[in-house]
Amino acid sequence: MATSSAPGTAPEVLAEGPDVEQAVHATAARAREAARRLAVAPRADKDAALEAMATQLLASATAVLEANARDVEAAEGAGAAASLVDRLRLDEDRVAGMAAGLRDVAALPDPVGEVLRGSTLANGLELRQVRVPFGVVGIIYEARPNVTADAAGICLKSGNAVLLRGSTSARHSNAAVVDVLRAGLAAAGLPADAVQLVRGTGHEAAKALMRARGLVDVLVPRGGAGLIRSVVLESTVPVIETGVGNCHVYVDAAADLDMALDIVLNAKTSRPSVCNAAESLLVHEAVADVFVPRVVGALRDAGVAVHGDEWFQRETGVVAASQADYDEEFLSLDIAAAVVPSLDAALEHIRRHSSAHSEAIVTDSLEAARRFTAEVDSAAVLVNASTRFTDGGEFGFGAEIGISTQKLHARGPMGLPEMTSTKYVVTGHGHIR
Amino acid sequence: MATSSAPGTAPEVLAEGPDVEQAVHATAARAREAARRLAVAPRADKDAALEAMATQLLASATAVLEANARDVEAAEGAGAAASLVDRLRLDEDRVAGMAAGLRDVAALPDPVGEVLRGSTLANGLELRQVRVPFGVVGIIYEARPNVTADAAGICLKSGNAVLLRGSTSARHSNAAVVDVLRAGLAAAGLPADAVQLVRGTGHEAAKALMRARGLVDVLVPRGGAGLIRSVVLESTVPVIETGVGNCHVYVDAAADLDMALDIVLNAKTSRPSVCNAAESLLVHEAVADVFVPRVVGALRDAGVAVHGDEWFQRETGVVAASQADYDEEFLSLDIAAAVVPSLDAALEHIRRHSSAHSEAIVTDSLEAARRFTAEVDSAAVLVNASTRFTDGGEFGFGAEIGISTQKLHARGPMGLPEMTSTKYVVTGHGHIR
């Protein structure tokens, strides 16, 4: 039986080497104990804990910001890129946003206990399929410390204990936030060990988490392609792969070209650093003469570098696309572009290069829309809409742990129900076969 | 682009060593091509193929039985256990059963295209979540050649191409069955490469299948605990773990003891070799004085060896249980048994020893039933019913690819819907964010 650690004081696990695995597994064992209690906690208790977490976070903003200042200073001292420092930095508004996020999750319906199927079998057995928590969820994520509160809130509401493995660069911020969240849990009478940080610098601790099969039920990596790939390949714990988005916009022969221009610009430029931003543009050759000059001009005006095929290269400022550009998730003001001779060629290009996140077609042809939605094998397929809509908030899910790009369990934006499993409850009165 | 192989002639891939991976991946690439066509095939085409497969199987029974005789002879010559030879052996009835199974699957509703969620968002975007096939499914299984037809039928109906990796001992039988199934596909105008055997002896070919990430979408191991464990640990392709069942029956203080006796006997003896058979018996001490002698006598009469704790050992013929016995999936006429002082102790025993397949409580106490169903974290929790009911057929699913004991994607009996993923289709008219 694992010893529970004091509320508000996340246990220090800083050793490296062979001790790390043991320490991480002890943390996971405490999480399992906490998960047993969370699994049967009624909604009211979980919502009270979320509210207490939010209140504590606002009351402890100064301590959190002081811890964050240490991380920011260390990152700047180490010469980290400005974009990393920006993701790392918290301020009063961001802390308030974390608290508001926890309250938003409290307001969402509790997925646990939902009956998904129910029937009385021919022999009189009563069958029900009921949503239950996974148990222990591990989240491995990169710089942004607000993920710490967001992920903890979603896991708590879905009845799961969570093991948080943030990046070393955010370690003081994450520790401060987790201390506050644990105090909130304890104040509401729930086990503080339902939210724990997996400590220890370097790859050892993350690796121990990936090998904690039987102690951890699901791992969700959130971050860049390298992080996700490493978790997918190394983990013996089941993984939900999230987020890499090489999203395509295909402008069909039957497109409304004004609409196409708006959608391309929105998908590429409204927030280039996120996974649902467009990274590739395909244009049917029937409209290329008219559309390519217009879209290149508009993208150039918006500061976008176009990496184009020969057709696109006729336009000023377009650089030659390498084959690798068509596989790239730029996450910047860059886009790969090509002209295709047919819808079939567009489908083939997407099949070859897409990361299966989100692809959009702009068309007024019912048949082209029908084939595109049927044949593109991605988490989201959009017709006459920007790829930027693939998002838990936009879909009305209220909270999102990430966007799954795998086919097992969950695909697309993952809200609270996607953070649960099910079990069958079968009731008889002496039934035998 | 992979070259498609001739219908009715599964390509020979018998090389070993570094060539095996290449050969297996070429097979998988052909399966992906076939999967693209299957994904958009209407139900009528898939049902016609299933019917053609069944017809061909009956027409080719002699050839299938001749191939099977070669496997049986080789197994007997190698001194294989009688139980293995029995699982391996086909006869007219078993072939007819395979054909009937294919027709049963044809009669089931098509899961592909089902709309699971649909709404119009506040901004007018139309959102639909639609069932789609996984794509390419790999099945790794042991001796029984009828799994070849069953698995192929379920995968076809759910729109998936399948790669079948059977055991070496059944290789002639499996090859003969697959040839027949491929001829059925071709006769119905669907790609024969939707059903392929992964050939090559030894572990190399299975390993290549487990490493075919990006080519194979999901792997389902079906067989003993060793096989499943090896696939789970080695695979980089997402896995659905099936089948290991250390199922418990707990006889509560408030049990109807006649009912309890019937359920224990049924759960243990009606078919001891299957995963939903009971392997462990727990008895509340309040009824132990009366129930232990009765149940031991009845089990002894039924030929069951009881591995008991000290309490059980007072009865004639009970052997002392080792700690390992409580973790054992016997799959034979053996049962581990213990007396527990309370419901809490029963829950703790189950938490420690269960494989999370199926656990049953026999009780007339509403509170005991409520706590047992809420706190036991298994795929199926049964009240006053035998564990033997955890079965796709019994649950009314019509066909079953296996019973998932993991929490990701599917838990419990897996029918056709569990062999699918989903995608979001989002329709707008120029929507941007």
Q: Convert the pLDDT of each residue in B146-175 to its tens digit.
A: 999 999 999 999 999 999 999 989 999 999
Residues ≥6 apart with Cβ < 8 Å to B19: none
Cβ B144 vs Cβ B170: under 8 Å:
yes
Side chain identity at B199, as an amino acid letter?
R
pLDDT one-digit tens code per residue, A386-402: 999 999 999 999 888 99
Q: Are residues A57 and A176 both part of a single domain? A: yes
**Where do the H-state alpha helices sit in A235-284?**
257-269
Task: Please give the average per-residue pLDDT across B120-145, as a whole number.
Answer: 95
Query: What pLDDT, on the 0 to 100 scale, is given for residue B10?
Result: 43
B5 domain-assigned:
no
A408 domain-assigned:
no
B395 contacts in A (CB within 8 Å)? Answer: 121, 127, 424
Query: For residue A33, what is the nearest residue in chain B, using CA coordinates?
Result: B351
Q: Are residues A261 and A154 both part of a single domain? A: no
Task: Please give the average per-residue pLDDT across A253-261, as a whole number.
Answer: 98
Query: What pLDDT, on the 0 to 100 scale, is given for residue B8?
Result: 42
Q: Are residues A295 and A217 both part of a single domain? A: no
Q: Least CB-CB distance to A236: which of B233, B240, B409?
A: B233
Rounded to the nearest 10 degrees, the angle between the axes of helix B257-269 and helix B285-301 is 40
For residue B4, pLDDT beyond 50: no
The model's confidence at residue B121, banded by pLDDT at 50, 70 and 90, is very high
User: Which range, of A6-10, A123-127, A220-224, B122-126, averages the lowest pLDDT?
Assistant: A6-10
Number of domains chain B contains: 2
Distance CA B100, CA B48 (A): 14
Instruction: Tell me the pLDDT of chain A averaged across its residues.
Output: 93
For residue B6, pLDDT beyond 60: no
B contact residues 372-391, partner A, Cβ 8 Å cutoff: 373-375, 377-386, 388-390
Query: What pLDDT, on the 0 to 100 scale, is given for residue B14?
Result: 47
| Assigned token pair, B284 | 């509340």
Cβ A345 vs Cβ A374: under 8 Å:
no
C-alpha distance from A56 to closest chain B C-alpha (Å): 31
Residues ≥6 apart with Cβ < 8 Å to B414: B240, B242, B392, B397, B400, B401, B402, B403, B404
Residues ≥6 apart with Cβ < 8 Å to A63: A176, A180
Q: Are residues A223 and A100 both part of a single domain? A: yes
CATH of the domain at B374: 3.40.309.10
A7 domain-assigned:
no
A259 contacts in B (CB within 8 Å)? Answer: 429-430
pLDDT one-digit tens code per residue, A57-99: 999 999 999 999 999 999 999 999 988 898 899 999 999 999 9
pLDDT one-digit tens code per residue, A115-167: 999 999 999 999 999 999 999 999 999 878 999 999 999 999 999 999 999 99
Above pLDDT 90, what percent of chain A? 85
**Where do the H-state alpha helices sit in A317-397?**
343-353, 366-375
Q: Are strands A358-362 and A334-340 parallel, antiparallel or unpaired?
A: unpaired
Instruction: Inspect the interface and report whether the beta carbons of B385 and A135 lie closer than 8 Å.
Output: no
Instruction: Inspect the interface and report whether the beta carbons of B407 and A218 lie closer than 8 Å.
Output: yes
Question: Chain A contact for B203, CB < 8 A?
Answer: no
Q: Are residues B53 and B122 both part of a single domain? A: yes
Mutate to test the interface with B, among A128, A259, A271, A377 (most CBs of B within 10 A): A377
Give the residue with greater pLDDT, B389 vs A227. B389
pLDDT one-digit tens code per residue, B265-278: 999 999 998 999 99
Query: For residue B264, what is the nearest residue in chain A, using CA coordinates?
Result: A432
Q: Least CB-CB distance to B378: which of A236, A369, A423?
A: A423
Task: Please give the average per-residue pLDDT across B343-351, as a whole number.
Answer: 98
Instruction: Inspect the interface and report whether the beta carbons of B262 and A429 lie closer than 8 Å.
Output: no
Q: Is A327 exposed, middle or buried (0-12, 13-18, 19+ CB in 10 A)?
A: middle
**pTM for the structure as a whole:** 0.92
| Assigned token pair, B233 | 């640990």
Cβ B68 vs Cβ B55: under 8 Å:
no
| Assigned token pair, B405 | 């004991």
A286 domain-assigned:
yes
Q: Are residues A71 and A213 both part of a single domain? A: yes
Query: What pLDDT, on the 0 to 100 scale, is given for residue B16?
Result: 53
Question: Chain B contact for A412, CB < 8 A?
Answer: yes
pLDDT one-digit tens code per residue, A284-301: 999 999 999 999 999 999
CATH of the domain at A153: 3.40.605.10
Task: Please give the average per-residue pLDDT across B287-291, as a whole number.
Answer: 98
Q: Are residues B275 and B180 both part of a single domain? A: no
Query: What pLDDT, on the 0 to 100 scale, is given for residue A18?
Result: 65
Query: What pLDDT, on the 0 to 100 scale, is given for residue B196?
Result: 97
Distance CA A355, CA A348 (A): 13
B382 contacts in A (CB within 8 Å)? Answer: 425-428
| Assigned token pair, B14 | 């018998």
Distance CA B63, CA B75 (A): 19
Question: Chain B contact for A270, CB < 8 A?
Answer: yes
pLDDT one-digit tens code per residue, A173-220: 999 999 999 999 999 999 999 999 998 767 888 899 999 998 999 999
Q: Are residues B234 and B261 both part of a single domain? A: no
Question: Chain A contact for B352, CB < 8 A?
Answer: no
Question: Residue B30's domain spans which residues?
Answer: 18-242+414-425
pLDDT one-digit tens code per residue, B318-332: 999 999 999 999 999
Residues ≥6 apart with Cβ < 8 Å to A353: A246, A248, A280, A326, A327
B1 domain-assigned:
no
CB pairs under 8 A between A and B: 213
| Assigned token pair, A398 | 């209220």
Q: Are residues B28 and B166 both part of a single domain? A: yes
A428 contacts in B (CB within 8 Å)? Answer: 382-385, 389
Please state the ipTM of this predicted complex: 0.93
Q: Are residues B169 and B291 both part of a single domain? A: no
Mutate to test the interface with A, among B132, B137, B400, B432 (most CBs of A within 10 A): B432
The model's confidence at residue A17, banded by pLDDT at 50, 70 and 90, is low
Q: Least CB-CB distance to A423: which of B379, B384, B389?
A: B379
B433 domain-assigned:
no
A432 domain-assigned:
no
Distance CA B159, CA B31 (A): 12
Query: For residue B276, what is the nearest residue in chain A, using CA coordinates?
Result: A433
Question: Chain A contact for B1, CB < 8 A?
Answer: no
Q: Are residues A149 and A293 both part of a single domain? A: no
Distance CA A89, CA A71 (A): 8
Instruction: Tell me the pLDDT of chain B averaged across its residues.
Output: 93
CA angle B232, B141, B42 (to 5 degrees): 100
B234 domain-assigned:
yes
Q: Are residues A141 and A271 both part of a single domain? A: no
The size of chain B, in residues, is: 433
| Assigned token pair, B421 | 């993923």
User: Which range, of A124-128, B55-59, B204-208, averages the lowest pLDDT?
Assistant: B204-208
